[in-house]
Amino acid sequence: DAKTTQPPSMDCAEGRAANLPCNHSTISGNEYVYWYRQIHSQGPQYIIHGLKNNETNEMASLIITEDRKSSTLILPHATLRDTAVYYCIVRVTTGGFKTIFGAGTRLFVKA
């Protein structure tokens, strides 16, 4: 699976949009981009995923560049409860479905 690069930490003011970038320049045509987050002492929580089109759900939006080499997760109105480590993962959907985690981005939402 392709490697991803994320900033180690980011701050965001409560109520503002949080934009978390991810670089996946070696992504293959059959690899999807997934975002998960992990709140302290809990298991990871799925947020959103996409292949090449932008996606939106009740939690977030995912913007994937046209060349698919990078993406941005957008939390439109961050709250204190969004403070967590956010993981961007690219993964093929055949074979063993293994999900390999990188270091992620630690997002601090401040009041």
Partner 1 sequence: GAVVSQHPSWVICKSGTSVKIECRSLDFQATTMFWYRQFPKQSLMLMATSNEGSKATYEQGVEKDKFLINHASLTLSTLTVTSAHPEDSSFYICSAPDRGRSQPQHFGDGTRLSIL
Residues in contact with partner 1 by the rule CB under 8 A: 32, 34, 36, 38, 41-46, 49, 51, 85, 87, 93-94, 96-104
Of the two residues 85 and 107, which places its CB atom closer to partner 1 in the complex?
85
**Upper half-sphere CA count for residue 85 (Cβ side, 13 Å):** 13
Of the two residues 67 and 94, which places its CB atom closer to partner 1 in the complex?
94
Residues 6+ apart with CB under 8 A from 95: none
| Residue where the block lists tokens 């701050």 | 11
In the complex, the smallest distance separating the C-beta of residue 49 from partner 1, rounded to whole angstroms, is 6
